[in-house]
Structure 1
Amino acid sequence: MARSSTPQGSLRQRNVGSKKGESTVSSPEPDISKLAKATQKKTKVDNERDYKIALAIITALAFVTRFWGISHPNEVVFDEVHFGKFASYYLERTYFFDVHPPFGKLLFAFMGWLVGYDGHFHFENIGDSYIDNKVPYVAFRALPAILGALTVSVTYLIMWESGYSLPACIVAASLVLLDNAHIGQTRLILLDATLVLAMACSLLFYIKFYKLRHQPFSKKWWKWLILTGFALSCDISVKYVGLFAFVTIGSAVLIDLWDLLDVNRAKGALSIPEFGKHFAARAFGLIIMPFIFYLFWFQVHFTILNRSGPGDDFMTPEFQETLSDNVMLANSLDIQYYDTLTIRHKETKAYLHSHEDHYPLRYDDGRVSSQGQQVTGYPYNDTNNHWQILPADGNQETGRNILNHDLVRLRHLATDKILLSHDVASPYYPTNQEFTAVSAEDALGKRANDTLFEIRIEHGKKKHNFKTVASHFKLIHNPSKVAMWTHTKPLPDWGYKQQEINGNKQVAASSNVWVAEDIPSLAEGDPRRNKPERKVKSMAFLRKWFELQKAMFYHNSRLTSSHPYSSHPYQWPFLLRGVSFWTQADTRQQIYFLGNPFGWWLASSLLAVYAGIVMADQVSLRRGIDALDHRTRSRLYNSTGFFFLAWATHYFPFYLMGRQLFLHHYLPAHVASCLVTGALIEFIFNPDTADEESIYGPRGGPNKHVSARERFAGRSMKGAWIACLTVISIAIAGWYFFLPLTYGYPGLSVEQVKMRKLLGYDLHFAK
């Protein structure tokens, strides 16, 4: 029987009749292409099932690790004193001030409202008992525990959605699942669980949006764009460091827009109007909508907090008058000439004070003083804080109200001296003027100009009445135009450790603001004290928002004082320092905020490996060596590069900050480093280098029903699974070893504590 020259192993064999009328029927063979497609479809379904099973298991474990023993300790722990207190203030509707936006705190208040808590407990001190004070603290802690568990799931979904293999997904999620820092931070009433989940969701939603780039303006495309913007808004509405997520997504969007602008795009060039639509859509979804959501949480914040509270002093009088029960509505009095005042510094709460003692002839640095009478800041109210306010023109008429921008003199009643400032350096600030007091004879004679001060009311109109409590003002020395100022550094023994008062040349600084607290000379029955009840005023939302933003940014920038557990950014990737959250001496139990060292060191090492791989690839390309196929390089630069970008943008900006920093600031960057770790596990142990020949199999291969790609993947996946199991085993060991420090029990012996001081961690009960 004659045969064609078709190579052995061809997909079909032909029938060639040998003789006329002779029928030759070859045995039928299966259609390999159809079988391959069916096999691929079944494999895809099986793979998806495996991914779903792994996701369910990891999610369940995440909830177990976060909720296990969540009721311990039944005392206030670390920063629960802040965020638990804020939830109580929301429930009591009393105004408070915090440097963080309101979204995360509103969630805690909502959880308290759900369980019927009335906010009676104010979380005053670490160690206060929740049981004795009947606080539903487990419900409060359940919120971050839920969000922390979901962060593990979202980390897994990011890897899955990015097309990584199952071992890579498991590695990335497991490093978050088994990390002691993430567990410890999400079992307490703290904001970081909300922050980290919002950041992770922004990455996931943007990846889903980007995968629809070939279906622009479709419903799904808009859905994931808006959800990305919402996640970004939630991120920055918890803490201002959420801005880093905007930088991450914004950088990716700019790269995408730059590609769309390319006239040589593979999918065809966009016209300028079409490009404008893409730009406008992204600006709307990722800038305008997040800003609207951001404003919405402040509107809720202002609506709930309608009663006077501990945050009043941070706001202007106009703002305070929008709050019911405000002290200004009840106690604000018009100040008249010849009234006796107590004047208090708004920021440090120190009273303007003087006494008989004089400045020393020389200060410690050798500078000479005026040897004038000391003018200081004193924390307690006494008669040495009483100052009589006199008109600059000497008019002795009483009953005249003092107005904004009036020139006055201040007479210290106890010593009968007049407040003065002059061109002599202050004790601590050579650039600032000294404040002192001189006799009335000098004050009205040769030193008359040096004793003149202007009352400058903050946000006050020209003829605005000067009032107690309500008028926040600056006392400006008229000849030199410096503002009276104080600070918390105490004077030496010659100044009785009181605060220095000096003239600040930076007049605009908000730390120059003072308040006239009371008029001691005004009798209780004086008609000025008998005022009709005043109504609560209203204020435009944007005015309130701008004022609060200004105060938040200012006080955030002032968080520069040292803290025993603060750390530097260079210490975070290597886990060189933790934070003591809670201790109990009787049981030798402690909660020490610390990550899983083995997981952190691995992730940090692979960040360096990734940078090395990219640099090596670039050098190779320069020398004409193309070591990677297009698909592998695309994933290395685009997908893994996106994760690396997220890490960098959530880490390096901290080097520019001068405020207090702690290990928990690294948690968002740590999640990104775990994503890079999972991606590199696949790159190293499961390279996708099959060419077209291997996809369809060699002709006449050993098994025509299984593609070479599947056989190759089966072999290479072994390495990835071994790496995956190795990483998980090491992570479990680290998690278990530091578990007593994360969960706060059991107590450890001296030897056990010393074993855990790997890098000199400042653990308690080590001796």
Structure 2
Amino acid sequence: MIEVAPGVRQRGARRKSPSRDAGLGSGSEDDLLEAPRAKNVVAAYIRPTGFPRRYKVVLAVLTILAFVTRFWKISHPTEVVFDEVHFGKFASYYLEGTYFFDVHPPFGKLLFALMGWFVGYDGHFKFDNIGDSYIANGVPYVAFRAMPAMLGSLTVPVVFLIMQECGYSLPAAVTAASLVLFDNAHIGQTRLILLDATLILSMACSLLAYVRFYKLRHQPFGYGWWKWLLLTGVALSCVISTKYVGVFTFVTIGAAVAIDLWNLLDVKRGLSLQRFSQHFMARAFGLIIVPFMLYLFWFYVHFAILYKSGPGDDFMTPGFQETLSDNALSLSSVGVNYYDTVQLRHKDTKAFLHSHAQNYPLRYEDGRVSSQGQQVTGYPFNDTNNHWVIMPPVAFPEDQRVNRPVKNGDVIKLHHVMTDTDLLSHDVASPYYPTNQEFTTVPLDKSYGERHNDTLFEIKLEHGKSKQELRTLAGQFKLLHKTSKVAMWTHPKPLPEWAFKQQEINGNKNVAQGSNIWYIEDIPSLAEDDPRNVKSAKQVKHMSFFKKYFELQRAMFHHNNALTSSHPYASQPIQWPFLLRGVSFWTKNDTREQIYFLGNPVGWWISSALLAVLAGVFGADQITQRRGIDALDRITRNRLYNSTGFFFLAWASHYFPFFLMGRQLFLHHYLPAHLASALVTGALVEFIFCSEPLEKEEITKDGKKTFVAAGKQSLLGAWIATAVVCSLVIAGFVFYAPLTYGTPGLTPAQVVARKLLGYELHFAK
């Protein structure tokens, strides 16, 4: 008996026109709902009902193979590999409750910590260096690696289910799943202590859940409709809570939702504005509010677990740091008074404010003339030339100089102890920045005479309250020149030999710049019997969750955008679809073993080629329709633009935004887009090799057009194409497997044979 696709209405069911009901994410069910049928038509497209046994068998086989390929030799190597130095370390910090800083949200790292907690690991090992031994340090690394390997394995059946739910044939689903199953990059990245397995599975689950939700669009607000809407939101939250590039999945789903809502707004649908508002609010709740609340929840857990002072302290403000137990700011900071001898330190470069008797040269290297004043520089080491006395603009009477605290907004002078001069800035260009002002010092007779105003500086505490007292370590501030309104600033580029290659200090006209921050390192003049030296027990301060959250968000985005330094294995997005570069993860010289992160060239090139084919098909179909030629039947066209177009949108959304980024990029950033390209490949296998139309147009006796089923499509061509593609992909996987698993045994000649496009492989000699 011929059967219809799952969920297809039988004769007499109400149908929608394609113009009113087309949308992203639809599959064969949607196409069939839109296709008018003749009275005697049994089915518009042949598909088995439900989830037949052969689908279940194939799904089970693919899932088993996924677990085998991901868990094969997962205990090798027994050393820290590539970015395991970061994410293993973060898991250890979670287990110890020690505060750390990372540019990625906490969800994926919390999963590693959960796995460590399950196996009783205490976090003693800090994953400091690639190549450090797990065995010697007693680390349950196999358990850590098992978590991403399990998630990576589950990605394969999810890909298969996406194809099946969209109504594609079994060979199409097998093709798409196999491209992920036997991909060396997916295997290599998801069997190590890395975040990408969580990211990719969450992205795939988002697509699957949205497809299931979209298929229920004709039964809105029912149990199943709400279930899949909320599950889509949960999956989206997992994506964005793992890495911020998860926003690209939001773009994919958001575009599909926007098209769906646009179709619902059509007056021909007969939907009232009140009902449309309900649809809009439901989607906003399920796909925006729910994901955001879950996203905040993981940060709440993050802050709750990390209660101790740690290596992440320096990235946060003093107010944040004082919420952590055992923090140096809480234990060691003291108030700063006038006439204290202090050492000022730059927050970013850690250089001390320094001066010495040598002067600036008459001319700089570019020919500009300097003031020839005394040099003021940044110096990285503790030295008496770093000592400055904080003075008031007008000296206090002798009997009123004790216990006069320096406060936020105060105007001060800085007196250099070793040269008996005062700090000054004036309208002379600095050595490296012609637009910035030079800093120098002047003798006391000029400091309190004709140059007095040029020696005045204002203390502006970061996030400080009015008249808040300045403290060592905890009080971060900008030092603003009172006359010219520039901020004291330094940068890492060393000055020439005439300044002993120390850092330049200048007046930055961009006062708002975050790198203008300084703090008081210590007070060398503080006497032992000074009451400020009496250390009393200090309670950990409280800061609201949202203050912590917004501060951490600012720091994360700032440092993520600052990842612009070069890396020997960094690559550009234009290289990724063609697999022109890989990444060396690990090498062991003694046994000539190496792990080289690289995709399966056969699978990547096939997928990339078919992406171009799909773009060509879209273009050709549009042109032929303009010329009155209708080469595709309506069901095929609907599926091409809806389901396959949805996959293509997912690929584009996860790929093209990287061209706009200025940060370091690597091949693994393409993995979500590669998964989408595998879905496109599976869909095109069916489109190209199942060439018979799904329906045909006939003219009735009264001259009206009608559509009848074209009969059962043969899948022989699709199965042959699937067999060829899978055979080639498996061959590519086996060929590069030694580099994926890091197994020994490759001779130099075999290594050279795998340098297909000049890959930077080791031990080729």
Corresponding residue for residue 23 of structure 1: none
Corresponding residue for residue 249 of structure 2: 245
Does residue 1:417 correspond to 2:421, yes or no? yes
Distance in 2, Cα, partners of 1:743 & 1:630 = 47
Distance in 2, Cα, partners of 1:434 & 1:565 = 40
Does residue 1:509 correspond to 2:510, yes or no? no
Distance in 1, Cα, partners of 2:763 & 2:527 = 58
Provide the secondary structure at the position in 2 that maps to 1:44.
coil
Distance in 2, Cα, partners of 1:169 & 1:470 = 59
Paired residues of 1:590 and 1:747 also in contact (CA < 8 A) = no
Letter matched to residue 651 of structure 1? Y
Correspondent of 2:181 among 177, 184, 188: 177
Correspondent of 2:530 among 509, 526, 529: 526
Does residue 1:234 correspond to 2:235, yes or no? no
Provide the secondary structure at the position in 2 that maps to 1:465.
coil
Corresponding residue for residue 27 of structure 2: none
Distance in 2, Cα, partners of 1:361 & 1:448 = 24
Does residue 1:386 correspond to 2:387, yes or no? yes
Correspondent of 1:445 among 444, 449, 463: 449
Instruction: Using the TM superposition, give the Cα deviation of residue 131 of structure 1 relative to its aligned residue in structure 2, in angstroms.
Output: 0.9
Corresponding residue for residue 363 of structure 1: 364
Corresponding residue for residue 35 of structure 2: none
Instruction: Using the TM superposition, give the Cα deviation of residue 725 of structure 1 relative to its aligned residue in structure 2, in angstroms.
Output: 1.0
Corresponding residue for residue 376 of structure 1: 377
Deviates further, 685-694 or 154-163:
685-694
**Could you give the per-residue CA deviations for residues 566-624 of structure 1, whole angstroms, max 9, x where no partner exists?**
11111111111111111111111111111111111111111111000000000001111
Structure 2 CA distance for partners of 1:371 and 1:590, relative to 1, 3 Å: farther
Corresponding residue for residue 608 of structure 2: 604
**Could you give the per-residue CA deviations for residues 135-181 of structure 1, whole angstroms, max 9, x where no partner exists?**
11111111110111111111111111111111111111111111111
Distance in 2, Cα, partners of 1:523 & 1:209 = 71
Distance in 1, Cα, partners of 2:67 & 2:669 = 23
Distance in 2, Cα, partners of 1:379 & 1:107 = 39
Distance in 2, Cα, partners of 1:708 & 1:278 = 37
**Could you give the per-residue CA deviations for residues 538-559 of structure 1, whole angstroms, max 9, x where no partner exists?**
1111111111111111111111
Corresponding residue for residue 224 of structure 1: 228
Corresponding residue for residue 324 of structure 1: 325
Provide the secondary structure at the position in 2 that maps to 1:576.
coil
Instruction: Using the TM superposition, give the Cα deviation of residue 304 of structure 1 relative to its aligned residue in structure 2, in angstroms.
Output: 0.5
Deviates further, 522-531 or 507-516:
522-531
Corresponding residue for residue 285 of structure 1: 286
Provide the secondary structure at the position in 2 that maps to 1:567.
coil
Corresponding residue for residue 308 of structure 1: 309
Provide the secondary structure at the position in 2 that maps to 1:672.
helix
Distance in 2, Cα, partners of 1:592 & 1:489 = 35
**Could you give the per-residue CA deviations for residues 224-276 of structure 1, whole angstroms, max 9, x where no partner exists?**
000100111110001111111111000000000000001123xxx10000000
Corresponding residue for residue 686 of structure 1: 690
Corresponding residue for residue 20 of structure 2: none
Provide the secondary structure at the position in 1 that maps to 2:468.
coil
Corresponding residue for residue 585 of structure 1: 589
Letter matched to residue 722 of structure 2? C
Letter matched to residue 314 of structure 2? D
What are the equivalent positions in structure 2 for 1:751-766 lying under 5 Å apart? Answer: 751-766=749-764
Correspondent of 1:49 among 43, 48, 53: 53
User: What stretches of structure 2 of length at least 5 have no aligned partner?
Assistant: 1-39, 699-708
Larger Cα Rg: Structure 1 or Structure 2? 1
Structure 2 CA distance for partners of 1:574 and 1:742, relative to 1, 3 Å: same
Over the matched positions of the two proteins, sequence identity in percent amounts to: 70
Letter matched to residue 621 of structure 1? Q
Distance in 1, Cα, partners of 2:281 & 2:294 = 18
**Could you give the per-residue CA deviations for residues 613-639 of structure 1, whole angstroms, max 9, x where no partner exists?**
000000001111110000000000000
Provide the secondary structure at the position in 2 that maps to 1:709.
coil
Structure 2 CA distance for partners of 1:279 and 1:102, relative to 1, 3 Å: same
Instruction: Using the TM superposition, give the Cα deviation of residue 394 of structure 1 relative to its aligned residue in structure 2, in angstroms.
Output: 2.2
**Could you give the per-residue CA deviations for residues 721-742 of structure 1, whole angstroms, max 9, x where no partner exists?**
1111111111111111111211
Correspondent of 1:726 among 724, 727, 732: 724
Corresponding residue for residue 709 of structure 1: 711
What are the equivalent positions in structure 2 for 1:396-411 lying under 5 Å apart? Answer: 396=397, 397-411=401-415
Distance in 1, Cα, partners of 2:187 & 2:359 = 58
**Could you give the per-residue CA deviations for residues 273-332 of structure 1, whole angstroms, max 9, x where no partner exists?**
000000000000000111100000010011111111111111112111111111111111
Correspondent of 2:737 among 717, 736, 739: 739
Paired residues of 1:568 and 1:661 also in contact (CA < 8 A) = yes
Distance in 2, Cα, partners of 1:616 & 1:285 = 38
Distance in 2, Cα, partners of 1:628 & 1:433 = 70
Structure 2 CA distance for partners of 1:448 and 1:111, relative to 1, 3 Å: same
Aligned residues: 713
Instruction: Using the TM superposition, give the Cα deviation of residue 693 of structure 1 relative to its aligned residue in structure 2, in angstroms.
Output: 9.9
Structure 2 CA distance for partners of 1:605 and 1:495, relative to 1, 3 Å: farther
Instruction: Using the TM superposition, give the Cα deviation of residue 199 of structure 1 relative to its aligned residue in structure 2, in angstroms.
Output: 0.7
Distance in 2, Cα, partners of 1:612 & 1:222 = 37
Structure 2 CA distance for partners of 1:227 and 1:47, relative to 1, 3 Å: closer
Provide the secondary structure at the position in 1 that maps to 2:268.
coil
Instruction: Using the TM superposition, give the Cα deviation of residue 747 of structure 1 relative to its aligned residue in structure 2, in angstroms.
Output: 4.6
Letter matched to residue 600 of structure 2? N
Paired residues of 1:606 and 1:680 also in contact (CA < 8 A) = yes
Corresponding residue for residue 274 of structure 2: 273
Corresponding residue for residue 628 of structure 1: 632
Instruction: Using the TM superposition, give the Cα deviation of residue 45 of structure 1 relative to its aligned residue in structure 2, in angstroms.
Output: 6.0
Corresponding residue for residue 70 of structure 1: 74
Distance in 2, Cα, partners of 1:63 & 1:496 = 60
Corresponding residue for residue 343 of structure 1: 344
**Could you give the per-residue CA deviations for residues 378-422 of structure 1, whole angstroms, max 9, x where no partner exists?**
222222222211111222523200000111111222222222212
Distance in 1, Cα, partners of 2:228 & 2:726 = 32
Distance in 2, Cα, partners of 1:424 & 1:597 = 59
Paired residues of 2:635 and 2:694 also in contact (CA < 8 A) = no
Instruction: Using the TM superposition, give the Cα deviation of residue 503 of structure 1 relative to its aligned residue in structure 2, in angstroms.
Output: 1.4
Corresponding residue for residue 484 of structure 2: 480
Deviates further, 526-535 or 435-444:
435-444
Distance in 1, Cα, partners of 2:357 & 2:595 = 52
Letter matched to residue 133 of structure 2? S
Distance in 1, Cα, partners of 2:436 & 2:710 = 81
Distance in 1, Cα, partners of 2:81 & 2:419 = 49
Instruction: Using the TM superposition, give the Cα deviation of residue 561 of structure 1 relative to its aligned residue in structure 2, in angstroms.
Output: 1.4
Paired residues of 1:359 and 1:370 also in contact (CA < 8 A) = yes
Which structure carries more relative contact order (alpha carbon 8 Å, separation 6+)? 2
Instruction: Using the TM superposition, give the Cα deviation of residue 493 of structure 1 relative to its aligned residue in structure 2, in angstroms.
Output: 2.8
Instruction: Using the TM superposition, give the Cα deviation of residue 451 of structure 1 relative to its aligned residue in structure 2, in angstroms.
Output: 1.4
Paired residues of 1:588 and 1:749 also in contact (CA < 8 A) = no
Provide the secondary structure at the position in 2 that maps to 1:535.
coil
Correspondent of 1:460 among 461, 464, 468: 464
Distance in 2, Cα, partners of 1:210 & 1:371 = 74
User: What stretches of structure 1 of length at least 5 have no aligned partner?
Assistant: 1-34, 695-706
Deviates further, 368-377 or 732-741:
368-377
The TM-score, its normalising length taken from structure 2, stands at: 0.91
Paired residues of 2:695 and 2:710 also in contact (CA < 8 A) = no
Distance in 2, Cα, partners of 1:379 & 1:741 = 43
Corresponding residue for residue 662 of structure 2: 658
Letter matched to residue 502 of structure 1? N
Distance in 2, Cα, partners of 1:623 & 1:60 = 50
What are the equivalent positions in structure 2 for 1:80-119 lying under 5 Å apart? Answer: 80-119=84-123
Distance in 2, Cα, partners of 1:514 & 1:125 = 32
Instruction: Using the TM superposition, give the Cα deviation of residue 692 of structure 1 relative to its aligned residue in structure 2, in angstroms.
Output: 6.4
**Could you give the per-residue CA deviations for residues 17-58 of structure 1, whole angstroms, max 9, x where no partner exists?**
xxxxxxxxxxxxxxxxxx9989x99x8269721111111111
Letter matched to residue 709 of structure 1? G
